[in-house]
């Protein structure tokens, strides 16, 4: 006799209806062979009494099980576990874990080491060094929320709640064409742009169309790690060129072009990631000429174009491109806040069309209402006002961060004050190592993050990227104090 009274647990505090709680537990008993095929179930009155529930609850539970095919009702005989349900074969697990937390799959699949990135879970009281991100506390949340809510309540917006174009919201594309033409010196139409969920989606779509296994792609000796991983995931062979104070050394690029068939080159021309240097005008023109000569694509990631402190931003490569060589990717989310997944990809019409086709199988479309809200956010001048405000604050933070770093830790670190962006490239004295520093920093609740990623080629430059934009003046003082204390521990 099955002890239903003790096996079946009723929880009246949760939202799930009682009849579903009961039916789900019956299913588990059938799957585990606690109730084998053909087992007769107790009558509804009996079970209702045992479980202290209304008989209608048991009737509803049995009806649900019958509909799902787990049990069958036989006239004048009773209710039985379906005889046709095969015994579920289960592998005996070596450790005692809950069934809902399986550690291994029951099938084989590819595990690609290139897509592995450690997820950072932040803890209270710890100071985290980042590689240059915006301060989300400056985000104009109210303005965006008001726009989103206002648009959501309009009847005209109903069409944006359904499936739409894979190119992104039409109004945002139109607004961005004007905005990018005015601020970046581009000369594009709506046919040249699609909306993405950030720069990384633009990178993924571009590399998916461009790169086949063993294709050669040029990147910097120091480079943005996410891009490296994206290219490697697609099977590319990375050829690395040195980076100096004027950006990628394009003469080295030319030598590689003579030796290999290059499919693409990746550049962060405004502020090279991670070293923050700007690609010189001479090298920009040289690179565009090489792209025309050797027929390769230039993927230009303009991740922090809006933040330049010493003079007006230098126009991107895309503004000089007359031959359809440049794929220009950028995002609003890096400028405003990472949670707002709104970016763009700009290229020739035929390339944009193909990216839009591919997007259908990756993401289908973004948040159309959010994209519409950002169209109004840009058109109303709210984005420009936010950039102007953030630019002033980030400049002050850059200056204070660099001042304090030089004053308190100038004997340990070397750096150049960056002309723009949200981070500095900082070199540690060769007497010390970042591994040593990272371990000791934990003692003062300072987390240096994944510092290893900045030297993929094992060049031994002993430098990492250190963000400043996301810290207030007080937080900068705490960070420098902890860093100084860490150096004292090492000494």
97: pLDDT strictly greater than 90? no
92: pLDDT strictly greater than 60? no
Q: How much is the pLDDT for 86?
A: 78
Q: How much is the pLDDT for 187?
A: 92
Q: Give residue-wise pLDDT tens across range 262-271.
A: 999 999 998 8
Dihedral through CA 379, CA 385, CA 388, CA 390, nearest 10?
-110
The rounded mean pLDDT for the chain is 89
**CA 377 centroid distance within chain:** 23
Range(s) for CATH 1.10.10.10 in the chain? 4-81
Determine contact, residues 132/421, Cβ cutoff 8 Å.
yes
Q: Who wins on pLDDT, 131 or 99?
A: 131
Range(s) for CATH 3.40.640.10 in the chain? 139-384
Q: Who wins on pLDDT, 302 or 350?
A: 350
The architecture in CATH of the region 127-136+387-490 reads Alpha-Beta Complex (3.90)
The tokens for 105 are 């799959």
Average confidence (pLDDT) over 370-374: 90
Strand stretches in 400-442, DSSP E: 413-415, 423-428
Q: How much is the pLDDT for 81?
A: 92
Q: Give residue-wise pLDDT tens across range 311-367.
A: 777 889 999 998 999 999 998 878 888 888 899 999 999 999 999 999 998 887 778
Q: Give residue-wise pLDDT tens across range 357-371.
A: 999 988 877 788 889
Q: How much is the pLDDT for 455?
A: 87
CATH number of 139-384: 3.40.640.10
pTM: 0.82
* Cis, peptide link before residue 274, omega less than 30° from 0: yes
Determine contact, residues 261/297, Cβ cutoff 8 Å.
no
Q: 63-72, long-range: CB within 8 Å, 24+ apart, which pairs?
A: 64/19, 64/20, 64/23, 65/23, 65/26, 65/27, 68/23, 68/27, 70/26, 70/27, 70/30, 71/26, 71/30, 71/41
User: DSSP letters of 197-257?
Assistant: SSHHHHHHHHHHHH--TT-EEEEESS--HHHHHHHHHTTPEEEEE-EETTEE-HHHHHHHH
Average confidence (pLDDT) over 4-14: 90
391: pLDDT strictly greater than 70? yes
* CA angle centred on 184, ends 182 and 189, rounded to 5°: 65
Which are the contacts of 307, defined by CB distance < 8 A and separation ≥ 6? Answer: 387, 390, 391, 394, 420, 421, 422, 469
CATH number of 4-81: 1.10.10.10
Give the three-state DSSP class for 428.
strand
Handedness of CA 352, 357, 361, 367 (dihedral sign): positive
Range(s) for CATH 3.90.1150.10 in the chain? 127-136+387-490
Which are the contacts of 288, defined by CB distance < 8 A and separation ≥ 6? Answer: 298, 317, 320, 321, 323, 325, 326
User: DSSP letters of 2-15?
Assistant: --HHHHS---TTSS
Determine contact, residues 316/188, Cβ cutoff 8 Å.
no
């Amino acid at each position: 006799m099955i002890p239903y009274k003790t096996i079946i647990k009723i929880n009246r505090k949760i939202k799930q209806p009682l009849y579903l709680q009961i039916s789900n537990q019956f299913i588990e008993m059938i799957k585990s062979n606690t109730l084998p095929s053909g087992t007769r179930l107790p009558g509804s009155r009996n079970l209702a009494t045992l479980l202290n529930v209304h008989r209608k609850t048991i009737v509803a539970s049995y009806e649900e099980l019958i509909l799902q095919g787990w049990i069958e009702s036989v006239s004048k005989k009773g209710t039985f576990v379906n005889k046709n349900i095969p015994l579920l074969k289960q592998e005996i697990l070596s450790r005692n874990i809950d069934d809902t937390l399986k550690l291994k799959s029951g099938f084989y699949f590819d595990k690609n080491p290139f897509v592995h990135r450690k997820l950072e879970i932040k803890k209270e009281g710890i100071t985290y060094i980042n590689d240059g991100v915006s301060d989300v506390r400056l985000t104009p949340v109210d303005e965006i929320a008001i726009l989103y809510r206002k648009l959501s309540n309009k009847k005209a917006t109903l069409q944006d709640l359904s499936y739409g174009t894979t190119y992104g919201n039409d109004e945002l594309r139109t607004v961005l064409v004007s905005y990018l033409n005015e601020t970046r010196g581009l000369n594009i139409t709506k046919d040249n742009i699609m909306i993405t969920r950030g720069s990384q989606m633009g990178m993924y779509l571009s590399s998916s169309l461009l790169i086949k296994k063993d294709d050669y792609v040029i990147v910097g000796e120091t480079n943005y790690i996410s891009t490296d991983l994206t290219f490697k995931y697609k099977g590319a062979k990375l050829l690395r060129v040195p980076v100096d104070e004027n950006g990628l050394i394009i003469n080295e690029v030319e030598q590689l072009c003579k030796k290999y068939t290059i499919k693409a080159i990746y550049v962060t021309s405004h502020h090279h990631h991670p070293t923050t240097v700007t690609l010189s005008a001479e090298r920009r023109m040289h690179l565009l000429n090489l792209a025309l000569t050797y027929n390769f694509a230039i993927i230009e990631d303009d991740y922090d174009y809006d933040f330049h402190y010493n003079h007006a931003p230098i126009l991107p490569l895309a503004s000089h491109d007359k031959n359809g060589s440049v794929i220009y990717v950028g995002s609003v989310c890096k400028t405003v806040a990472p949670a707002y997944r709104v970016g763009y990809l700009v290229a020739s019409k035929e390339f944009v069309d193909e990216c839009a086709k591919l997007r259908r199988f990756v993401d289908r479309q973004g948040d159309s209402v959010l994209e519409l809200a950002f169209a109004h956010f840009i058109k109303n001048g709210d984005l420009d006002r936010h950039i102007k405000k953030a630019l002033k604050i980030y400049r002050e933070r850059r200056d204070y961060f660099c001042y304090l770093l030089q004053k308190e830790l100038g004997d340990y670190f070397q750096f150049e004050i960056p002309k723009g962006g949200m981070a500095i490239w900082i070199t540690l004295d060769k007497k010390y190592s970042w591994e040593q520093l990272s371990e000791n920093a934990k003692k003062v609740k300072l987390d240096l993050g994944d510092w290893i990623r900045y030297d993929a080629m094992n060049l031994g430059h002993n430098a990492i990227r250190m963000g400043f934009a996301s810290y207030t003046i007080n937080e900068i003082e705490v960070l420098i104090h902890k860093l100084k204390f860490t150096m004292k521990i090492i000494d």
